[in-house]
Amino acid sequence: MSSRAYVGLGANLGVDPAATLTQAALRLAALPHTNVAALSSVWRSAPVDAAGPDFLNAVVALDTTLLPLELLDALQAIEQAHGRERPYRNAPRTLDLDLLLYDQLTLDTPRLTLPHPRLGERAFVLRPLLEIAPQLAHLAAAEGWQVQRIERLGPLSL
Protein backbone atom coordinates (compact mmCIF):
# COMPACT_ATOMS: atom_id res chain seq x y z
CA MET A 1 0.00 0.00 0.00
CA SER A 2 1.42 3.37 -0.94
CA SER A 3 1.52 6.61 1.00
CA ARG A 4 1.14 10.17 -0.28
CA ALA A 5 4.20 12.31 0.34
CA TYR A 6 4.75 15.94 -0.61
CA VAL A 7 8.26 17.11 -1.40
CA GLY A 8 9.31 20.74 -1.67
CA LEU A 9 11.95 21.53 -4.30
CA GLY A 10 14.07 24.67 -4.27
CA ALA A 11 17.21 26.01 -5.94
CA ASN A 12 18.91 29.39 -6.25
CA LEU A 13 22.44 28.52 -7.38
CA GLY A 14 23.83 27.00 -10.54
CA VAL A 15 23.60 27.77 -14.23
CA ASP A 16 19.89 26.95 -14.60
CA PRO A 17 17.89 26.41 -11.38
CA ALA A 18 14.72 25.69 -13.40
CA ALA A 19 16.47 22.80 -15.16
CA THR A 20 17.69 21.59 -11.77
CA LEU A 21 14.09 21.42 -10.51
CA THR A 22 13.08 19.43 -13.59
CA GLN A 23 16.02 17.06 -13.15
CA ALA A 24 15.15 16.59 -9.49
CA ALA A 25 11.50 15.84 -10.35
CA LEU A 26 12.70 13.25 -12.87
CA ARG A 27 14.92 11.66 -10.21
CA LEU A 28 11.94 11.56 -7.82
CA ALA A 29 9.84 9.88 -10.52
CA ALA A 30 12.57 7.25 -10.93
CA LEU A 31 12.68 6.27 -7.24
CA PRO A 32 11.72 2.63 -6.64
CA HIS A 33 8.07 1.98 -5.81
CA THR A 34 7.28 5.67 -6.34
CA ASN A 35 5.02 7.52 -8.78
CA VAL A 36 4.60 11.24 -9.30
CA ALA A 37 0.95 12.04 -8.57
CA ALA A 38 1.11 15.81 -9.17
CA LEU A 39 3.53 18.62 -10.00
CA SER A 40 3.04 22.23 -9.04
CA SER A 41 4.04 25.21 -11.07
CA VAL A 42 7.48 26.74 -10.62
CA TRP A 43 7.44 29.78 -8.34
CA ARG A 44 10.10 32.48 -7.86
CA SER A 45 10.58 33.97 -4.40
CA ALA A 46 13.06 36.04 -2.47
CA PRO A 47 15.17 34.13 0.06
CA VAL A 48 13.63 33.96 3.55
CA ASP A 49 16.02 34.51 6.47
CA ALA A 50 18.92 34.34 3.98
CA ALA A 51 20.84 36.23 1.34
CA GLY A 52 21.52 35.35 -2.27
CA PRO A 53 19.62 35.22 -5.53
CA ASP A 54 15.89 34.51 -5.77
CA PHE A 55 14.82 30.91 -5.36
CA LEU A 56 12.82 28.81 -7.77
CA ASN A 57 10.47 26.46 -5.94
CA ALA A 58 7.93 23.74 -6.65
CA VAL A 59 6.16 20.89 -4.87
CA VAL A 60 5.82 17.30 -6.07
CA ALA A 61 3.21 14.87 -4.74
CA LEU A 62 4.47 11.30 -4.65
CA ASP A 63 2.70 8.01 -4.13
CA THR A 64 5.35 5.76 -2.62
CA THR A 65 5.89 2.63 -0.59
CA LEU A 66 9.21 3.98 0.67
CA LEU A 67 9.14 4.62 4.40
CA PRO A 68 9.71 8.22 5.54
CA LEU A 69 13.39 7.77 6.44
CA GLU A 70 14.03 5.80 3.24
CA LEU A 71 12.48 8.66 1.28
CA LEU A 72 14.54 11.20 3.23
CA ASP A 73 17.72 9.24 2.39
CA ALA A 74 16.74 9.25 -1.29
CA LEU A 75 16.08 13.02 -1.20
CA GLN A 76 19.46 13.69 0.38
CA ALA A 77 21.19 11.49 -2.21
CA ILE A 78 19.54 13.51 -5.01
CA GLU A 79 20.67 16.74 -3.33
CA GLN A 80 24.23 15.41 -3.09
CA ALA A 81 24.20 14.44 -6.76
CA HIS A 82 23.40 18.10 -7.52
CA GLY A 83 26.30 19.38 -5.41
CA ARG A 84 24.31 20.41 -2.34
CA GLU A 85 26.47 21.86 0.40
CA ARG A 86 25.37 22.85 3.89
CA PRO A 87 27.91 25.43 5.07
CA TYR A 88 25.36 27.19 7.32
CA ARG A 89 21.62 27.36 7.96
CA ASN A 90 19.62 28.81 5.05
CA ALA A 91 22.69 29.03 2.81
CA PRO A 92 22.09 29.46 -0.93
CA ARG A 93 21.83 26.04 -2.55
CA THR A 94 22.03 24.18 -5.81
CA LEU A 95 19.11 21.99 -4.74
CA ASP A 96 16.99 21.66 -1.63
CA LEU A 97 14.51 18.81 -1.25
CA ASP A 98 12.29 18.88 1.83
CA LEU A 99 9.90 16.14 2.86
CA LEU A 100 6.92 18.29 3.80
CA LEU A 101 4.22 15.73 4.56
CA TYR A 102 3.91 11.96 4.57
CA ASP A 103 0.24 10.95 4.74
CA GLN A 104 -1.08 12.13 8.11
CA LEU A 105 2.08 11.06 9.91
CA THR A 106 3.40 13.17 12.78
CA LEU A 107 7.04 12.50 13.55
CA ASP A 108 9.69 14.28 15.61
CA THR A 109 13.12 12.66 15.50
CA PRO A 110 16.63 14.09 15.27
CA ARG A 111 16.65 13.36 11.51
CA LEU A 112 13.11 14.12 10.46
CA THR A 113 10.15 16.16 11.66
CA LEU A 114 6.76 15.74 9.99
CA PRO A 115 4.93 17.78 9.04
CA HIS A 116 7.90 19.97 8.10
CA PRO A 117 8.31 22.41 11.00
CA ARG A 118 8.14 25.60 8.89
CA LEU A 119 5.59 24.37 6.38
CA GLY A 120 2.85 26.82 7.36
CA GLU A 121 5.07 29.91 7.44
CA ARG A 122 6.45 30.18 3.94
CA ALA A 123 4.72 31.21 0.75
CA PHE A 124 7.34 29.44 -1.37
CA VAL A 125 6.10 26.14 0.11
CA LEU A 126 2.43 26.89 0.64
CA ARG A 127 1.57 28.39 -2.75
CA PRO A 128 2.84 25.40 -4.78
CA LEU A 129 1.53 22.91 -2.20
CA LEU A 130 -1.97 24.40 -2.19
CA GLU A 131 -1.91 24.55 -5.99
CA ILE A 132 -1.77 20.73 -6.16
CA ALA A 133 -3.47 19.91 -2.83
CA PRO A 134 -6.05 22.59 -2.01
CA GLN A 135 -7.56 20.26 0.61
CA LEU A 136 -4.51 21.07 2.77
CA ALA A 137 -5.50 24.74 3.20
CA HIS A 138 -5.78 24.21 6.97
CA LEU A 139 -1.95 24.07 7.05
CA ALA A 140 -1.74 27.75 6.05
CA ALA A 141 -2.61 29.02 9.52
CA ALA A 142 0.47 31.16 10.19
CA GLU A 143 0.32 34.91 9.60
CA GLY A 144 2.62 36.71 7.23
CA TRP A 145 3.22 34.13 4.53
CA GLN A 146 0.61 35.77 2.27
CA VAL A 147 2.69 38.97 1.99
CA GLN A 148 5.95 37.27 1.03
CA ARG A 149 7.01 38.16 -2.50
CA ILE A 150 6.34 35.21 -4.78
CA GLU A 151 5.57 34.89 -8.48
CA ARG A 152 4.18 31.93 -10.43
CA LEU A 153 6.37 31.31 -13.47
CA GLY A 154 4.74 28.35 -15.20
CA PRO A 155 4.43 24.59 -15.13
CA LEU A 156 7.05 22.15 -13.92
CA SER A 157 6.98 19.30 -16.36
CA LEU A 158 8.72 15.97 -16.74
* DSSP H or E segment with residue 22: helix 17-29
User: Residue 157: CA atoms inside 13 Å, Cβ hemisphere, count?
Assistant: 3
Q: Which residues are catalytic?
A: 84, 93, 96, 98
Amino acid letter, residue 57: N
SS (H, E, C) 44-107: EECCCCCCCCCEEEEEEEEEECCCHHHHHHHHHHHHHHCCCCCCCCCCCCCCEEEEEEECCCCE
Residue type, 120: G
Let me know if 10 is exposed, middle or buried by CB neighbors in 10 A (0-12, 13-18, 19+): buried
- The answer to whether 44 and 9 have CB atoms below 8 angstroms apart is no
